[in-house]
């Protein structure tokens, strides 16, 4: 999922350089949403691992 967020970020940067404001804004928005979803899932995974008694990596 983090890979998708980075892909949309790169698309947004390229679109912004080429002057496509709408596409750049949409891609940046998607990248931001995917990044936060990844962050939430990462925190949930770390909490679940801590509850099971395994030390965080």
Residue range 48-55: average pLDDT?
Answer: 82
21 belongs to a structural domain = yes
pLDDT at 40: 93
18 belongs to a structural domain = yes
Number of domains in the chain: 1
The pLDDT tens digits for 2-43 are 787 788 888 888 888 888 878 888 888 888 898 899 999 999
34 belongs to a structural domain = yes
Positive or negative: CA dihedral 18, 21, 8, 40: positive
pTM over 0.85: no
Question: Do residues 42 and 6 touch, judged by C-beta distance below 8 A?
Answer: no
57 belongs to a structural domain = no
pLDDT at 57 over 70: no
46 belongs to a structural domain = yes
56 belongs to a structural domain = no
For the chain, state the CA radius of gyration.
16
Domain interval for residue 34: 2-51
43 belongs to a structural domain = yes
Which is more confidently placed, 53 or 33?
Answer: 33
């Amino acid at each position: 999922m983090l890979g998708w967020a980075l892909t949309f970020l790169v698309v947004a940067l390229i679109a912004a350089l080429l002057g496509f404001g709408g596409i750049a804004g949409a891609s940046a928005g998607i990248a931001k949403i995917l990044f936060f979803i990844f962050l939430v899932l990462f925190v949930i995974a770390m909490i679940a691992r801590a509850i099971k008694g395994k030390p965080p990596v």
